[in-house]
Structures are given as structure tokens and as C-alpha cells.
Structure 1
Amino acid sequence: MTFNLATILRESRYAHPGKPLCHSQDRTLTYEQVDEDSGRVAAALLALGLERGDRVAVQLPNLPEFLLCYFGILKAGLIMVPLNPLLKGHEIAYHLQDSGSRILVACAPLAAEAVAGAQEAGGIPVYVVGVPGFDETPAGTHPFAELLNATDTGDIAPTNADDTAVVLYTSGTTGKPKGAELTHFQLFMNCTVSGELFGIREDDVILAVLPLFHVFGLSSVLNVVVRYGGTMALVPRFETTPVLDTMEKHRCTIFSGVPTMFFALLHAYTSEHDLSALRVGCSGGAAIPGEVIRAFEEKFPGVVILEGYGLSESASTTTFNISAEQRKVGSIGKAVWGIETRVVDDADRTLPPGPEHVGEIVIRGHNMMKGYWNNPEATAEAVRDGWFHTGDLGYADEDGYFYIVDRKKDLVIRGGFNVYPREVEEVLYTHPAIAEAAVIGRADERLGEEVVAYVALKAGAQADEQDVIAFCKDRMAAYKYPREVKFLSALPIGPTGKILKKELRT
């Protein structure tokens, strides 16, 4: 069966060509403009010699150009590889090399790291999107405008429904970041089902501050908006005042975010902002405290916060609380249409309901990834007998609602972003004064979790907390480096020589 996800844009363009698809600072693009400009990007990429199935990496914040790249890549029959704009050069190089990306699109203020990564990856061409104050194209790069010089043919490549549309990198719980292959059909089904659950309407305006390079923002915000013909208000970075200003200016009706965003807005809001249009808050990425839900809904009468759960590997939404009447605060909700969810023990046997029966949450259905890009071993480890093993520990109740209680591995979720401790530890071990290192998550009221490093120094070596933090900050994305460093004479070691992180958490 042939199907291309870009069809959702074309169909909504036919329905209302002049309607705003996105607002971004002082720019507004209609459905017609996004459809035509993304067609120009598609034609330009094919003119550069890219062929069906080639990968194009896009390292952009929430700007209109992200939409043009996304739908242009899909229309051309290529594969989108979204990257976090905060990645450092060597991190970018890893993603480019692992995915085999042919081109990188980056943002001017962060172009230096993009260029460094592209050069390390073998000299991949870099196209740079300018923003106010950063209009110059760095040496050795191309202006993004070159990709808009082609003529839109109106063509949408006849890809197969199970062809990979997006390779979305996730740290997961083991090894280096892995690319989850999400197909055209999976992403279409997720935005279709999610939009129905959210109750989205054509007159809705969704605030899009969740990063579009993340599965939550890409699948449950961008795709949902376009699938149902809504409008989105883009905000490149979460800061309370710009977010509140944007919500008021564009009369936003739906806000999707991670718990830390709800927490920040709750404390930053004053009556100076008119948010009376807001009716739904969708929370995901981490568990949202019941007290935050209660306080938020009390401060914003008429707003209901609905919590869901999903992963990069599941194209976003897997379970969801569908309404104020049917939700259970503290739960991630029930499995959505077409998805099966179970709690299993270590032998993959289904556990009975009840908080005393905690096991690993496993899922299968139309939303499950095709596999990890070029990594059959990791795919076989994660997907067994058709069930994807999430690594999250939880339980189900008698009504089929699921609850997350812990993570099976050591993944730290800081402000909605996944931080893999081993990646941080590998950087710590390159510090000339450090002999041993271990990274864990510490509960944090604002961010959910904070990254904490425990280190033991080499004999005779010296280093202080700020030195270690600065060392890490220079070598990794801003959300990853530890904000707290604790020094021990030696880290606790088990009989096999493994560092006992459990003891560090006590």
C-alpha cells in the first residue's frame, strides 16, 4: 500500500488554503504557503542528487523552516533525522555518521557546532537558517534560501506505508543513542488517534513550545495540528514570559508540555495575561504531580489537564486520560485505540492488576517502531515476540489504567529530556583528575530530576565541583551536564566490580 505522511498537509491545504498553519514571532504561514514552500524544498533536495530513502538531518528549534524541511523531506521520499539544536560538534558527528545523513540543516546562532560536526562526519553539506541578528551564512555553508529556489512540482513521492519517514534518536537505556525508525503509517495513525483523544477542532490554536525534534512535539503537536487543520503558535524556547505572551496574543486553546512547564507557568502567571481561551493541557514526558494538576486547574478555571504516556519508539502516544470525567490523577491513562499494553514479570508473564504487582510495561500495536536504525541487536533486545519492552516499571489497576512507578534502568529525565548517565560518565572519565564516576538522577521539584555526578579523584589529583561542571558543560548539550558533583574517596563497588548506584541513591 502506498501512502506518504505529507498527504496530511496537502489535504488540509485543499480544505482551507488561506488559513494560518503557524504563527512565529512576526511571521504567519498559511497552509498554502507551507505546502508550496515545502514542495520547493523537496524539488531542491532531489536536484542535489538525493534519492528515495536518503537521510536529511535537521537541527532546528521551533521555526517555520522546520515545517518546510519536514514536509519537503517527506514529499521527496527521503527520511527526516531531527536533531537537538543543543548538541555539540562530536555529538552531531555521531548522529550524522550513524544515520548516514547526506545533508544537515542548522540554525545560524548554533552553526559553529553544526559545521564542526559535519566536518568530523566527512564534510556533509550544511544549509543554515538565518534568524534576526544572525543573518550571515558562516563560511563553508549554504543559505537555506537556496533550498527555496526550486520550483514546486506539486509531487508527493508514492512511498510505501511501512517505509521509514523519520529516524528519531533516543538515548534509551543502554549504549549510545539509537535511531528509532518511524514509518509513514505509524505517524499517521498516532496523530489521527491522538487528535481524536485531545478532541482537537479546526478552530484550535495549539501552543508549540515542545521541541519539534522530540517525538512529543513532532507527533502529538505538529502532526496533530496539520492532520486536523488547526493552527500552531511556535515558540523556539520555553521561557515563561514569551510563552504567556504568545498564548494571549494568539488565543491558544491547547497547551501541550512536560510537567516542568506546567509548574513554571503556574508560578509565573499573573492576571495581566488573558488566557481565557485555554481549555486543554496535555502533559507527558514524565509523571505530573497531582498537586500541580489541582493547582493549575484552580488557577485556570475551565482548563483540564490530561496526562498521557509514550516513547520515541511508540511514535508518541501509547496511553492517555481522555477526559476530566474519566481520568485518574496519577495515572498515565488507558491504552489508546489499536494499542495493547501489559505489565509483565522478568519471564514476560502478564501480571495481575494492583500496585503490589509491579513489572515492566510492554506494548504492541500500530504505533510500534519498525526497529532501531542499522541496529538489529538492539531491536531484538527491545522487541520480543512482537512486544516492545519500554524499560519502565509500573502496574495496572482493575479498570485498565496504568501507573509508572520507576524505570528499569538508570535513565534520568531532566525537564522532559532524556539523559543517559553512561554518556555523561564517559565524559567524566576523560577528565584528567577523575578515577571513577557514576551519574544518577536526584528528584527536583522544578525539573523532575537533576543530574548528579559522584566522582573519586586519582591519587594526588585535585579538582573542585565548578571545575568538573565546566569540563562537562564544554563537551555536551546543556541539558545533560551535571549540576551537582559529589566527591568520594571511592565509589561503592559490588562483587563483580560494578559501581553500586543503588547505594548512591540512599
Structure 2
Amino acid sequence: MKENYDRLKRVDGLNYVALTPISFLQRARDTYPEHPGIVYGNRSYNWKEVANRCQRLASGLKKLGVEKGATISIMAANTPELAEAHFGVPMSGGVLNAINTRLDSDTVAYILEHSDAKVLITDTHFSGTLSAALKTLSKTMNNPPAIIDIVDDQADAPPGSGQRLGMMTYEELLASGDNSDDWGDDWGRPESEWDALSLNYTSGTSGKPKGVVYHHRGAYLMSMGTVAAWQIPKHSRYLTIVPMFHCNGWCHVWTMALMGGTLFCNRVVNAENIFSAIKNHRITHFGAAPIVLAMLANAPPEIQYIPDYTVQVMTAGAPPPSKILEKTAQLGFNVLHSYGLTETYGHILYCDWRAQWANLPIGEQAEIKSRQGVRFQMMESAKVVKVGSGQLVPADGQTIGEIVLQGNPIMKGYYKSPEATAAAFKDGWFHSGDLAVVHPDGYIEIKDRLKDIIISGGENISSIEIESVLYKFPKVAAAAVVAKPDEKWGETPCAFIELKQAEQATEEEIIAFCKAHLASFKRPKNIVFIELPKTSTGKIQKFKLREMVASGQV
């Protein structure tokens, strides 16, 4: 009888415990205390030591006045400090805000102010950008964040950097925290699995970064789904190539703790470092944008190293060309192609490989791998619907619609942006803004982007942000930016410029202007001077520009 089932109540802490990736660290410490947790050059910490450092970080932050919900920003390379912050910050009750190290100072200042950053942990190698950002921030933010310096003696400081900006170093912050023995059973678990865990900024179509809020439940289940889809075994050896500021490193930091793996921190991404790590540390897994795979495939033979086992690689973004897939296979890599967004904690669709496809020619295999595929195990639903009507598109591989999603690894919403959140969550679905088709076998393949986002080297670039800069050039009457295929980067921004009457400008002038206002990866690589195609109402027809690019006219 129904009433007999209904009498059995949920008991918080007994048969109902909030899901959080913090529990992965606690289990790793208890189960694999002596197993290597984090390795970075001459620094190595087992899981017991990692847990202790994370607890000290959390305690030190609390002593600085961090309370539940406070934003803790960090601008760092893929080093142990950023990995530890993925646990230590939420254990303090704070919300982790990992900032893209490639951003310009104005954007960094905007993020620090918009996020209400309480503490800023920063690598001294980025002091040039940060000092400029803090100067801007001092004019607008009444209570600027307390600053903690990461001093990395294993890396050479680039010119104009290396300056100490803070009140203490990261290691001094840890030293101020309580020993792990004082924590007992209190691991800083959230009261609710719906509590904010991290805050990641991504460029929207307006060009202004939007703050994407993750919750503990989503990160926990994302890690579980990654293990299932990528078939990650216990004690895997993972190389950090995906920046940990990008969707929290695709949540792979938490995933490695879940499986008692080892996180090998890699500060500088180049072919020599990656092949050296595979050789010396027997790396089993890494995530990387297609541009990194191309770099490895085209590296000089004397640098390349082919292991006596298969390295599992996850990639996302523009699908790698068939030649790159063929070359990476020869290097001993098995590539899993996935798709996701910042709003979905990273990957939520993947090309779930079928055994019969392995017998196809490499070109046909590459065509199949280019499909974003089917949903990860932790996602509830992914479908492609006709824009406007919401009706499912037929599985004919031709009819285009928008990808919409439901599932736990979807953001809480956009920070301080209820209107944008409501628009993204329209009709009970998360609207990705990506246009796709569905093949007869049910596999999804992306065809275009509603938001005009350009994916270059794994980075999302807003075309409108670039256009806003181009419009500031005195000689420009109108500007439009679209993606142009690029063998190395996957895509790069291509700018179409209409000059004011009687004005003249060169490509070099435009690019030089962009250099002063945009991060390097956002700058257009091609400038085309034309009279822009417009509708009768004066709206620029970007589809015609894309057609010009696709036909090879530019």
C-alpha cells in the first residue's frame, strides 16, 4: 500500500546526504592516503597531503573572513594551487571563481567587480595583467579583494611580471590554517547540494562576460558521468592540458579524486612537455582542444614519443580533421570527441563509439567522430528542436534545429542576470544556442551557432565583442565578424569591414588597433574590406559573409 511506503521518511545525514565533490577528496584520503594525488615538477603530494593542504586552505580563508557564498577568485596556471582550490574554496563555504589567464586587464577587472570577489589568489606571473586590473578596480569597487600571491619557483617569470601584489603568499595562507586533525568529521560539506560551488565567466553574445554558477550536485554527477563515458579506471594518470579555469578543467580535477588517480600539473602546453610527461609519467588520460592534437600530430619526430599502451584523449570543440585523427592514432592516442558548454559544466554529449565503426576507412571514422553524438550517462535529455516551434526535428541528418537539454549538470543560472537565466531556461529546457541535425542513428551533429560564438583553440570568442572594438576605430562605418576555418586553431575570427566614405585603412592598421583592445586569442586573423550586405532595414546579413568564407572567396 502507498501509505506504507510514505511512512518511510528521509533522514538527513543518514539516508540522505548532499552530493558534493568534496566527498571525493575525503574518500581519496581515507582509501588511498599514500597514493600520489598531485605531481608538479619537483613537488609531489599524496592524497593524505593533498587533503591536508585543502583543509588548511579552507581554514586560512575562513580566518580571512570568508563566509558562506563569498566569491574567491583565482588567476593561476595549471599548478597544484589551482587544483587544491577546487576543494579548499568550497570547503571554506566560498565559491570558486577561476579566471581565464588569457584575458585582458579590463575584462579581469570587470569579473572581479561583478563577481563581488572577497579574496583574489593570483600567480605572480600574471602580475602585469592583475596590477592593471586592480588599478581599474580601485576606481569602481569600494571593497577590493584581499590578495594572496602564488610564487612558483619552477617557472620563469615573463617580462613585466613576477611582482608580489598581496598581503601574504599562498603557502603562508596554508600555514595560517588549522591542521587536518582539527577538522574531525567536518569536511565543509554544503548544507544543500544545490549550494553554489563555482562561478565561471563566459562571453555572451553581448560581449560582456556572464557568470555561470555551478552547484555541488551537478559537479558530483558530472564526475560520475565522465567515469562511465570515458571508462576511467582506478589510479589513472591524468595530465592537465585543459586549463582548470575552463569549466573547472571539464571537472576532471574532481574526477581524478573520485578515482584515486594522479593529477600531473602541466603549466606550459607544448609538444615537448606533453610527450615528455607521457614518457616519464606514463600518462593514461588527458583532455585537450583539437589544436593541441594537431600540435602533437605535427611535432618533429625527434620530440614525439609513442608509448607501448593506448593514451585516452578527450577533445571538444571543432572536430579534428581526419588526417589529425589518423596521426594521433599512430601516436597511440584514442580520441573521444565530446561537446558541451560552460553552462553545462563542460561535456554532455559524446561520440559513443560502436565496435563496427572500427573497420571503416579512417576518413569515414573521422566523419562519424565529428558528430557530437549522444548524451553522457548523467544527462537526462538532449534533443534537437525547430527554432520557434519547439518540435523535434526529423532524424534525417539534414533538418536543422537547436540543441536543448535537461539534466543535473546544468548551471543554477547566470550570476546577477535573471533575465538571461530566464531566456536560457525557456519552456523548461536549457537552450544551447547551437544549431544541429540528428542522424538516422540518433547521433547529433552541430552545424552552426545561433549565438555567433567562434571556437578558436578551444576558447569561446564572442563575435559581437570583437565588433564592438572594431566600431571604435575612427575610420570604420560598419563591422561584422564570423568564423573562418583554420587548420591550426579550428576556427579564427574573420572581420569584414566597411569603411566610412573617403576613408582608407590597411589590414595592419586594423589588427594593430585590435591588439590594444583585445586579448590575443580574440583578435581577428583576417580583415576583409567590403560594402557589407544588408537587409532593407539595414541589418547586416552575416549568412552571406559565411557563404563567402565557405566558398573560399576570402
TM-score after normalising by structure 1 = 0.93
Structure 2 counterparts to residues 223-262 of structure 1, below 5 A: 223-262=254-293
Amino acid at match of 2:373: G
2:533 maps to 492
1:113 maps to 129
Structure 2 counterparts to residues 51-70 of structure 1, below 5 A: 51-70=67-86
- Counterpart pick for 1:148 among 168, 174, 191: 174
Structure 2 counterparts to residues 265-414 of structure 1, below 5 A: 265-268=296-299, 270=301, 273-297=305-329, 299-301=330-332, 303-323=333-353, 325=355, 328-339=368-379, 340-346=381-387, 347-414=389-456
- Aligned residues of 2:203 and 2:460 also touching (Cα < 8 A): yes
Aligned-pair CA distance for 1:459: 4.6
Amino acid at match of 1:492: P
Asked if residue 455 in structure 1 is aligned to residue 497 in structure 2, the reply is: yes
- Aligned residues of 2:74 and 2:121 also touching (Cα < 8 A): yes
Amino acid at match of 2:430: F
- Aligned residues of 1:130 and 1:137 also touching (Cα < 8 A): no
Alignment CA distance shift 1:216-1:287 (3 Å): farther
Aligned-pair CA distance for 1:487: 2.5
- Aligned residues of 2:235 and 2:259 also touching (Cα < 8 A): no
CA RMSD of aligned residues (A): 2.1
Which range is displaced more, 99-108 or 393-402? 393-402
Structure 2 counterparts to residues 51-200 of structure 1, below 5 A: 51-121=67-137, 122=141, 123-132=144-153, 133-134=156-157, 137-139=163-165, 142-150=168-176, 151-152=178-179, 153-154=182-183, 155-159=186-190, 160-200=192-232
- Aligned residues of 2:127 and 2:165 also touching (Cα < 8 A): no
**Separation in structure 2 between the aligned mates of residue 264 and residue 81 of structure 1, nearest angstrom:** 29
Alignment CA distance shift 1:4-1:97 (3 Å): same
Amino acid at match of 1:426: S
Q: Deviations over 1:244-290 (max 9, x none)?
A: 11221111112321211112211116366242333322121232334
SS at match of 2:522: coil
**Separation in structure 2 between the aligned mates of residue 482 and residue 118 of structure 1, nearest angstrom:** 27
Alignment CA distance shift 1:136-1:452 (3 Å): closer
Amino acid at match of 2:369: V
Asked if residue 436 in structure 1 is aligned to residue 478 in structure 2, the reply is: yes
Which range is displaced more, 89-98 or 185-194? 89-98
Amino acid at match of 1:453: A
Q: Deviations over 1:165-217 (max 9, x none)?
A: 01111114445221111100100100111112111112321221111111272
**Separation in structure 2 between the aligned mates of residue 110 and residue 16 of structure 1, nearest angstrom:** 35
Aligned-pair CA distance for 1:435: 3.0
- Aligned residues of 2:289 and 2:315 also touching (Cα < 8 A): yes
**Separation in structure 1 between the aligned mates of residue 481 and residue 37 of structure 2, nearest angstrom:** 42
**Separation in structure 2 between the aligned mates of residue 10 and residue 333 of structure 1, nearest angstrom:** 34
Alignment CA distance shift 1:62-1:140 (3 Å): closer
- Counterpart pick for 2:58 among 42, 50, 58: 42
- Aligned residues of 1:115 and 1:126 also touching (Cα < 8 A): no
TM-score after normalising by structure 2 = 0.86
Aligned-pair CA distance for 1:324: 5.5
Amino acid at match of 2:175: N
Task: In structure 2, list runs of 5 or more residues that go unmatched.
Answer: 1-16, 358-367, 549-554
**Separation in structure 2 between the aligned mates of residue 463 and residue 147 of structure 1, nearest angstrom:** 52
- Aligned residues of 1:169 and 1:177 also touching (Cα < 8 A): yes
SS at match of 2:448: strand
Which range is displaced more, 133-142 or 111-120? 133-142
Alignment CA distance shift 1:253-1:499 (3 Å): same
2:14 maps to none
**Separation in structure 2 between the aligned mates of residue 225 and residue 206 of structure 1, nearest angstrom:** 7
**Separation in structure 1 between the aligned mates of residue 201 and residue 122 of structure 2, nearest angstrom:** 17
1:29 maps to 45
- Aligned residues of 1:414 and 1:447 also touching (Cα < 8 A): yes
**Separation in structure 1 between the aligned mates of residue 511 and residue 201 of structure 2, nearest angstrom:** 25
**Separation in structure 1 between the aligned mates of residue 222 and residue 528 of structure 2, nearest angstrom:** 43
- Aligned residues of 1:58 and 1:104 also touching (Cα < 8 A): yes
Amino acid at match of 2:473: H
Aligned-pair CA distance for 1:136: 5.4
Aligned-pair CA distance for 1:161: 0.3
SS at match of 2:498: strand
Aligned-pair CA distance for 1:445: 1.1
Amino acid at match of 1:410: D
Asked if residue 476 in structure 1 is aligned to residue 502 in structure 2, the reply is: no
Give % identity.
29
Which range is displaced more, 261-270 or 272-281? 272-281
**Separation in structure 1 between the aligned mates of residue 501 and residue 148 of structure 2, nearest angstrom:** 48
Which range is displaced more, 30-39 or 321-330? 321-330
